[in-house]
Every structure is written in structure tokens, then in C-alpha cells.
Chain A
Amino acid sequence: MKFQLKHLVPLSIFLVLLGFLMVGLKLDPHEVPSPLINKPAPLFEQKLMTDANQTFSVGKMRGQVWLLNVWASWCTACRQEHPLLMKMSQELGIPLVGLDYKDTDTEGLAVLNQFGNPYSTLVADVEGRVGIDYGVYGVPETYLIDKAGIIRYKQIGPITEEVLYSTLIPLIKGLQ
């Protein structure tokens, strides 16, 4: 018997598979696109953690480009992200709203007192209700919301320098 084409079948199938795996290496399976992208940010109104007499509401942010950062005192990845948030609050010049997710006010504020507060506005989501509306599943998460109240970008997990400079800042500049 001599060489037959059919014996190449297993190899060809494998090569196709190999190609897919190669592409797969560059993709991140944990990165789930949010169905909320390009949709209006869910509205909520909450008392400020720093001053119970004032409230924050999403509706009032119309006309500004702003960031919503979901964090908690119990979240270790949020600590990693913290120094970058401090830097962003000084350099970006847009409101950075912190949502303290499933946390107690005392523990949340204690962390900020110790490490510094990057947030221009700070509200709590003790029960996690707001988190449900926003589809929060990994803390920290950050949402970029434009002047019309539309979510333009969602970062799951800590913001990195790379995300900040190559994605967030260009996006913010475009939206302003």
C-alpha cells in the first residue's frame, strides 16, 4: 500500500484545532462583555457615606463624564487597585464615584481613612441591590458613563496602568 490522502485527515483536524488553541491563548475567557454597554446606566439614589444629609443620584450626573467604581473593604484586589485610583482622582479631573459593595460603613470608611480616599463621592450598597442592577459579579468593577448617562466601558477586576492609558483615557477624551 502506498500513501493515501485519507491518512492525512487526523493531522488536518489537529492542525485546525491547534490554530484555534493558538488564537484562544490570546483571549481571556474571564472577560465577559456586559450587556449594559451602550445602554443607560441603571438609576439609583443613595445617601452619601460621608454625609447622611446629602444624596447622590445617577440622574444628577447628566452632562458629565464620570466613573463608577465598585469596591469593598473585604476585597483584596481592590487594595491592589487603590494606588492607581488615588492617582486617577488627581489626574483625570472627572468625578470618581465609589460604591462600597456589600460592606459595612464603618469598615469601608476605616479602610479609606487608613489608605486615603480617591472618591469624589462615596455611597454604600450594603444589600447589594445596586450591584444586581449593574450586573456586578467580580469586585472591583469600574463603569465609564458618558454625558447622556450611557455606560461606555466596563472594567471587571482591578484597573491596570495599561487599561488606564490605552483604553480609559482615550475613551474619556473622546467622550468629552
Chain B
Amino acid sequence: MIPELGHFSLILALALAVMQSGFSFKGASANQPVLMSIGISAARGQFIFSGLAFLSLAYAFYTSDFSVLYVASNSNVALPLQYKLAAIWGGHEGSMLLWAMTLSLWTMAVTLFSRHLPEQFRARLIGTMGLISVGFLVFILFSSNPFDRLIPAAMDGRSLNPLLQDPGMVFHPPVLYMGYVGFSVAFAFAIAALLGGELNPEWARWTRTWTTVAWIFLTVGIAFGSRWAYYELGWGGWWFWDAVENASFMPWLVGTALIHSLAVTEKRDAFKMWTVLLAIFAFSLSLLGTFLVRSGVLTSVHAFASDPTRGLFILIFLGLVIGGALTLFAIRAPSVGLGGKFGVVSRESFLLSNNVVMVVAAGVVMLGTLYPLFLDALGMGKISVGPPYFNLVFVPVMTPAIFMMGLAIFARWKNAELPALMVRLKWAFLVSVVSALIVPSVMGEWKPMVSFGLLMAFWVIASACVSLLDRFKTNSTSLLNTIIDLPKAYLGMIVAHMGVAVFIIGVTLVNGYGKEQDLRMTPGQSVKVDSFTFEFQGISQDTGPNYMTTKGHFIVTHGNGTPFTLEPEKRSYDQDSMPMTEAAINPGLIRDLYVSLGEPLDQGAWAVRIYIKPFVQWIWAGCLMMAAGGILALLDPRYRRRNKDKQGASL
């Protein structure tokens, strides 16, 4: 009964989405307030019924209703509750429903917080989002219905892929989807601006807030995923340049460019065409990501449920949405206009270069990701593109962006003097060069790549510090007051940029000084890696809620410190004979100790992998700092003045 209600809700949601876009567009073109407000009500109704559909599916999982095919294929009785619920998005149908539901949630939020926007603009915005909803709901209803019945019902379900039975599964997909789907707001904004033939700074400010929120979710979602891969896959890596990882990274890069570009459009009324194009790109890359994951055109660790026929639908949808948007761009872009002029050396020019670099970087990632497909399609053989390509190409591309990050903070809008910039930053430059030269030796061994990576990080930190000091100097009140008085947007920028530096430090040091040993260990044996002694005590068997586990016991001693134990596991889930590796990690501010259990060898020995990962946590800390910077920027009162600004905003 409940699954039928869910199915019915989904059909109603589709009908409402059709109304949402139909009434909004009609209302906007005829300038009929009544029609436009019907569009808004329909959008809210769409959210309610998409939400109901989602809750119905959640209920089916909660009650283990195995007469629903999707539930039977992804959950079973023994599955712990949190994974029963996470299994909602464990397969194709459910993840698509999560997609549609997230989109309706964003639409709902847009209807609530866009009252100050001009009515027609708002209607086009909501109408565009409605069209995207229609596409996804049609897709779900006609090719991926999660409410399909299984008659007769199964006695028990097939269970969730053991790889996915992890707390990461509870958070990573919804957060990531919030980010992916959130870019639809910026996309709808771009379409509305093109349709209306006008784009003004007030709308750019409004869009910037939404883009930043989506970007924060995407940043956190990617960081979650990376952290999860680090402890779950058992090879100690945090990024594999896998096709699906890249699919989330490309919108992130373009989204980052978009946030910066919107800043210019908001403050200086410039970069308009570029901003519109980036907004289209960011969401297009989200859709492309969805296509890559769902169609199985590329090999990936994420391709859990791929199906070429569904791929075709998404591809057609992709063609309509992106092709339509870009056609509109080709026709209407000139009407949006270029905007204000600026000098060769100015904050605008630095931000523009940043934008170009980010887009080039996304292009490089896209080329590497799709290259195997291009060659295969041209009949030129099968190849795979791995980390060596990405590492080789990505670092040089990003280097200028990092360098400019330091400069841009100081550059004035419109026109800045290069010599004056040099003078202000000479100390920052000197400090970062000297520390970059010294620090690697302190770490044990001087390596050019480490020194270079650190130079980039220190440069960002030093220039941010100089900028902060300047603010303090010009302010006569106490230090505390100065910090409180700093504009939140400025503070957010500093924190996010520092986050980039922290991230670079983590990546540089873990690549430069990480230690890795593959060993054959018998119980009782101990081994010294770096300054840590690992004693292998033996193996024990245990059972979890729905798995059997083989636990290894290791005692780690370090100098005079208290010894501690690490217990890596190999878990066999009841219905799957392939064992899952659960690495044991002792995390730390300056290093992680990482032990994972391999295969049993002869005479009671085990293959054991021990890693020492210096500063690896800084990678994720850096990502969280970037997200925190975004949150700080959102707290800036400038973004909450909108109701008072209502009069000024209208044309």
C-alpha cells in the first residue's frame, strides 16, 4: 500500500513539475502575476510529493518490505538500521529518486527565498528548475521506478554491497547530491538571465549565495568520499583519479571558478557572459557526472549498477538540457553584455586568470577521464588513463592559480599597480621561500617537489597573513574588536584560501614522506617502520551484526610513549564471499599510522601492509576549511540585507 502511495506521489510530483514550468514560463512571457504564482505553488507541491515518495521508499526499507523489488535487491533483514536507510540510495533507482527529491528541495528553497527578485525573473528561474525536474521524474517513472513490486515477495533481500556498509554511505551521497544538484540553481539563474536578456549585480549577489551553498556541500561531499576511500579500500590512497571521482571534481573546479566570477559580476558588473557560461558548465558537468556513473561507459569503482539503456535516456536528457542552454547562449549572449572595463593588472584580471586556470584544469581532468572513450569510439584501441597523467598535468596547471591567489587579495578593483603589489608582498615572498627551503630538511630529506609544494602553501599563508596585518594596522581598536569587525566575506576568503594551503601541505608531505611496507608477518613477530615498532600478536575471529570478521591485533610502540593497539579486520558478509578490508588507523595531527590485513599465507603468517602517512589529515582539514570559509562568507550581512533592498533591486 505504502509503495503504491509513493508511486502515486511521484506521478503527482511529475504533474506538478509540468505545471510548475508551464505556468511559470507562460506567466513570465505574458507578465501575468496570477500564472506565475500558480507556478510557485506547483513548485512547492512538487517538493511535498517528491518528499512523500522518498519517505514511502524509506518506509519500505525501514519495514524490510521485500515485495518491493528495489528493496529486495538492496537490503535484507540482518542489515543494521542505518544501512537499511542508507540503502535507499544504494542502487540506481533510489539514487535517482534522491536526485529528484534533492532538486525539489532546492526548488522549494528558491521559492521561499527569492521574493525580492523581479517577478518575471523569478518565474523563469522556477520554470527552468521545473523543466529539469520533469526530465528526472519522467526518467524515474518510465525506466527506473523504485516502487516496482516483486511478486511473490522475496523471503529475504540480497543486501547492500558490503563496500557500501559504512558510515560514509550514510552521509557521502546525500551531501554530494546536495552539491551537484545545487548547481541547478545557478544554471536556472543563467537561463533566466539569458531569456530575459538582462543580468544585474543584484541577481549576481543572489545567485552567489546559492552557488556558495551548493559549493560548500560539494566540497564537504568530496572530502567525505575521499576520507571514506582512504580507510575502506585498504590501500591508503585518498584520491584515485577514478572516472567517477573526476566526475565530482570537474563541477567543483568550475563551481569554484563560478563563485569567483560571480564576485566580479556582483561587485563590478563585469564578466557577465563568462559568469553565465560558467553557471551552465557547472551544472552540465553535474549532469555529465550522473551520466558517467549511471551509464557505465567508463570503468569505475563506483559503477555499481549501470545499464546502457538508461544511459541513453540520460544522454538524450543531457543533450536537451545542455544543448538547449548552449544554443540559448549562442543566440542571447550578446544581449547580456560584457559589463565594466578593467586594467591589465587589477583584481578583475587576477580573478579572470583564476577562472581560466580552473576551467583549463577541469578540461584537463575531462580529457583524461574521457580519453579512453574517445580512442575506443574512434577504433584506436583500448587504453586507460591513470594517476601519472593527472599528477603530471594537473600540478603545473594549478600552480599559477595558487601564485595568483596570493596576489589577488591585494590587488584593487579596476586598476592596481604591479610595483606597489611587489613592495607590499616582498616579506611574504621572502618568508615563504626561506621556509620552503628549510622545512623539507627538517622533515628528514630535502626533495625539490616537496620544497616546491611547500612554497606554494607558505606563499598563500604568508600573503593572507600580510593582508590580515594590514587590516589590524589601519584599525586603531583592539585586536579582538578588529577580528570581530572584519567583514565576514573577507574572513571567509582568508579561511578558504588558508584551507587550500593546508590541503597542499597535506598532499605534499604525504606524497613526499609517506612510508609503505608490504610484509609477511607471523604472530609474535615485530617490525620497525620509521620510529614505530609494530608487534603482530595474532588473529582472532569475531562476529558483527551481519558479518564474520578476522581481526588482527597489533601493538604499536613509539619511544617512551604509551603503546596502543591497532586492529585491522577482514570482514566476510554473510551473502558475499568476497572479504572486505577494514584498515586500522591511528590518526594524528602530524601523521597517521595505517595497518591493513592482506591474505593469510602459509604457517599462520599474514600479508600485512603498514603505512605511515605524515600530515594526511591535513588534506581533509584543508577541504573543511574551504567549506568553513564558504560558510563565513554566507554569514556576511551583505547577503541578508535583501529584504530591505527590495526597492533598490527592482529595475
Which A residues fall within an 8 A CB radius of B? Answer: 1-4, 7-8, 10-11, 14-15, 17-18, 20-27, 29-33, 74
Contact = CB atoms under 8 A, between A and B. Distances in A.
Nearest to A2: B334
Interface string B128-163: 000000000000000000000000000000000000
A27 B377 contact: yes
B376 interface: yes
Contacts of B326: 10-11, 14
A11 to B, nearest CB: 4
Contact of B330 (A1, A2, A7, A24): A7
Interface of B: 277, 280-281, 284, 291, 295-299, 308, 311-312, 315, 318-319, 322-323, 326-327, 329-331, 333-335, 337, 370, 372-374, 376-377, 382, 577
A18 B298 contact: no
B383 to A, nearest CB: 10
A29 B300 CA distance: 10
A119 to B, nearest CB: 23
Given A25-B297, A29-B299, 9 more contacts: A2-B334, A11-B327, A11-B330, A20-B373, A21-B318, A21-B373, A25-B311, A27-B377, A29-B382
A25 B382 contact: no
Q: Report, nearest first, the 6 A-B pairs whose CB atoms are least far apart.
A: A1-B334, A11-B326, A23-B377, A24-B297, A7-B330, A24-B373
Nearest to A18: B319
Contacts of A26: 308
Contact of B374 (A3, A10, A20): A20
Interface of chain A, helix or strand or loop or mixed? helix
Nearest to B280: A10
A15 B372 CA distance: 18
Instruction: Name the residue in A8, A17, A24 with the highest tally of chain B Cβ atoms < 10 Å from its Cβ.
Output: A24
Given A25-B315, A29-B296, A29-B299, A18 B374 contact: no
Given A21-B373, A23-B377, A33-B382, A10 B329 contact: yes
A67 B323 CA distance: 49
B308 to A, nearest CB: 5
Contacts of B277: 10
B290 to A, nearest CB: 12
Given A3-B334, A7-B333, A32 B382 contact: yes
B334 A29 contact: no
Contacts of A18: 315, 318-319, 323
A7 B323 contact: no
A1 B334 CA distance: 5
B291 A11 contact: no
A29 B577 contact: no
Nearest to B297: A24
Contacts of A10: 277, 280-281, 326, 329-330
Given A3-B334, A14-B322, A14-B323, A24 B329 contact: no
Contacts of B319: 18
Contacts of A1: 334-335, 337
A46 to B, nearest CB: 22
20 contacts: A1-B335, A3-B334, A4-B334, A10-B326, A11-B323, A11-B327, A14-B326, A18-B318, A18-B323, A20-B374, A20-B377, A21-B297, A21-B318, A22-B315, A24-B298, A24-B377, A27-B297, A29-B376, A31-B382, A32-B382
A29 B372 contact: yes
A21 B280 CA distance: 19
A49 B18 CA distance: 65
Nearest to B336: A1
Contacts of A3: 330-331, 334
Nearest to A33: B382
Contact of A27 (B284, B334, B335, B376): B376
A10 B332 CA distance: 13
A25 B322 CA distance: 18
A166 B577 CA distance: 34
A122 B192 CA distance: 69
Contacts of A8: 330
B418 to A, nearest CB: 30
Contacts of A23: 377
Nearest to A26: B308
Given A23-B377, A74-B577, A7 B299 contact: no
Contacts of A4: 333-334
Contact of B370 (A14, A20, A31, A74): A20
Nearest to B322: A14
Contacts of B370: 17, 20
Q: A22, A29, A31 — which one has the most chain B CB atoms within 10 A of its CB? A: A29
A11 B329 contact: yes
Contacts of A21: 291, 297, 315, 318, 373
Nearest to B382: A32
A27 B377 CA distance: 8
Nearest to A8: B330
A104 to B, nearest CB: 14
Given A2-B334, A18-B318, A25 B323 contact: no
Contacts of B299: 29-30
A39 to B, nearest CB: 17
A74 B578 CA distance: 10
Given A4-B334, A11-B330, A29-B298, A24 B376 contact: yes
A10 B359 CA distance: 13
Contacts of A31: 382
Nearest to A9: B330
Nearest to A11: B326
Nearest to A15: B323
Nearest to A4: B334
B373 A29 contact: yes
Nearest to B243: A29
A29 B372 CA distance: 9
A74 B579 CA distance: 13
Contacts of A17: 370
A2 to B, nearest CB: 6
